[in-house]
Amino acid sequence: MSTFAKASSKFNYKPLLALAAAAAGGYGYVNYKKGAPAPQSPKNPAPAASLLATNVREATTSVSSFEKYQQIYNDIAKKLIDEDDYDDGSYGPILVRLAWHCSGTYDQNDPSKNKGGSYAGTMRFQKEQDDPENAGLKTAQDFLEPFKTKYPELSYGDLWTLGGVVSIQELGGPKIKWRPGRKELGLDAVPPYHRLPHAPEEEPDYVRSVFHNRLGFTDQEMVCLIGVGHALGRCHTNASGFDGPWTFSPTMVTNDFFKLLLDEDWKVRDWNGPKQYTDSKTKSLMMLPTDMALKTDSKFREYVELYAKDEEKCMKDFADVFSRLLELGIKFPDSTKPMVFKTLEEQDQ
């Protein structure tokens, strides 16, 4: 019998389906500047806040009606609920990962057309799909493709970020503010590889090199993003090479990652795969080396403890920081107000 809790009556544990084969490739250490001050709280903003006002792209949209986007939200949400025959019972986690990976390539220090972020929708090109960190994400792109056909005016950047918003909300998470207007750019806008974080890195400063130096987040914000993100879904040996879920409820947005990270006894797994940790009690959960860095670093750990204790604060902070992640490097006109969608349940659909 499965050890997995049911996310809701709609989601049951289902055995892993095969994902796309992992692409091989070398990894580079991202440009962490040793000694760079890492802000410790949202009150002490990271560089992105002041950002390099020129290093942004202008969003424009011809479709500004809230009702139109709520309709697209509903369409995606219905497919998400209907197609529960995937992985642990939902495509939601992999859609969240797609939203994060199309946004997390952003480099606030890169003024070139290859600055990354969700704006340009460049993961539609094979070249970006072949970034080793993106292995398996074609499944999420394919899931959303019918909505590009149905709503051709919706750009890929808007579609993939909206897919993440739908998933967070429908899997019981907080409301995520979202704005439309991203525009597709060509193959020459594909960002360089190795910007997305590489899980075998165990050094806390490596995590900061990605989330602070490039994306502009504080220690608290990076802890929140990683911990709530990894409450969802699982690792797949045929995608990243890692194996297993982080929590017992991988189709629910919770603060369980933080509780489990602190409470369980984590040991290096004895197996034929990459270094990962497993809980001594059930041996069914996992932590990546980068996840363990959130426990070993005293500054990160302070926020792990905070979020383990206070789920409400955790969800409130996540809503804010996930929404900003999806908008990195984009300037929205004043007329494009953030939208907050109703869940299917709220609309009784």
230-249 residues in contact with ligand HEM (CB under 6 A) are 230, 232-236, 239-240, 242
Q: Which of 30, 123, 225, 314 binds ligand HEM (CB under 6 A)?
A: 225
Cα–Cα dist 90/94, whole Å: 9
194 binds ligand HEM (CB under 6 A): no
Binding residues for ligand HEM, total number by CB under 6 A: 24
Minimum Å gap between C-beta 334 and ligand HEM is: 28
Task: Name the residue nearer to ligand HEM (CB basis): 20 or 52.
Answer: 20
User: Residue 300 interacts with ligand HEM (CB under 6 A)?
Assistant: no
Which of 158, 169, 52, 175 shows the shortest CA–CA distance to 99?
158
Backbone φ and ψ of 246, nearest 5°? -90, -25
229 binds ligand HEM (CB under 6 A): yes
94 lies in the binding site for ligand HEM (CB under 6 A): yes
Q: Which two tokens stand for residue 273?
A: 């795969």
Q: Per residue in 250-274, is it b (16+ CB within 10 Å) or e — as a string?
A: bbbbbbbbbbbbeebebeebeeeeb
Q: Is 137 or 189 the residue whose CB approaches ligand HEM more closely?
A: 137
| Stretch binding ligand HEM (CB under 6 A), from 29-37, 177-185, 213-221, 226-234 | 226-234
| Helix H or strand E encompassing 101 | helix 92-103
**Residue sitting closest to ligand HEM (CB):** 233
Nearest residue to 223 via CA among 233, 211, 235, 214: 211
Name the minimum Å distance from CB 316 to ligand HEM: 15
Residue 283 zone, left/alpha/beta (φ > 0; ψ -120 to 50; rest): left
Smallest gap from Cβ 25 to ligand HEM, in A, equals 14
Q: Residue 61 or residue 278: which is nearer to ligand HEM going by CB?
A: 278
Cβ closer to ligand HEM: 61 or 90? Answer: 90
CB of 9 to ligand HEM, least distance (A): 21
Count of residues in the chain: 349
> 100 an active-site residue?
no
Among 39, 89, 136, 173, binds ligand HEM (CB under 6 A): 136
> 100, 160, 178, 246: which is the annotated catalytic residue?
246
Beta-carbon contacts of 38 under 8 Å, excluding residues fewer than 6 positions away, are 208, 212, 218, 219, 299
Please pick, from the candidates 4, 13, 73, 100, the single residue that binds ligand HEM as defined by CB under 6 A. 100
Given 101, 198, 212, 236, the catalytic residue? 101
Are the CB atoms for 270 and 51 separated by under 8 Å?
A: no
Classify burial at 290, counting beta carbons within 10 Å of its beta carbon; exposed 0-12, middle 13-18, buried 19 or more: buried
CB 69 within 8 A of CB 78: no
Interface residue with ligand HEM among 30, 56, 96, 260 (CB under 6 A) is 96
Helices (H), 115-155: 126-129, 138-150
Stretch near ligand HEM under the rule CB under 6 A, chosen from 95-103, 252-260, 302-310, 328-336: 95-103
Neighbour count for residue 229 (Cβ, 10 Å): 22
97 binds ligand HEM, rule: CB under 6 A: yes
Per-residue DSSP letters for 243-308? -EESSS-TTS--SHHHHHHHHS-EEE--SSSS--EEETTTS--EE-HHHHHHHHSHHHHHHHHHHH
Say whether 271 is catalytic: no
Residue with tokens 């909505």: 147
Q: In the complex, what is the shortest distance from the CB of residue 53 to ligand HEM, in angstroms, rounded to a whole number?
A: 25
- CB of 153 vs ligand HEM, minimal distance in Å: 27
Note the residues at the interface with ligand HEM (CB under 6 A): 93-94, 96-97, 100, 136, 197, 199, 207, 225-226, 229-230, 232-236, 239-240, 242, 288, 290, 322
Give me the active site residues, please: 101, 246
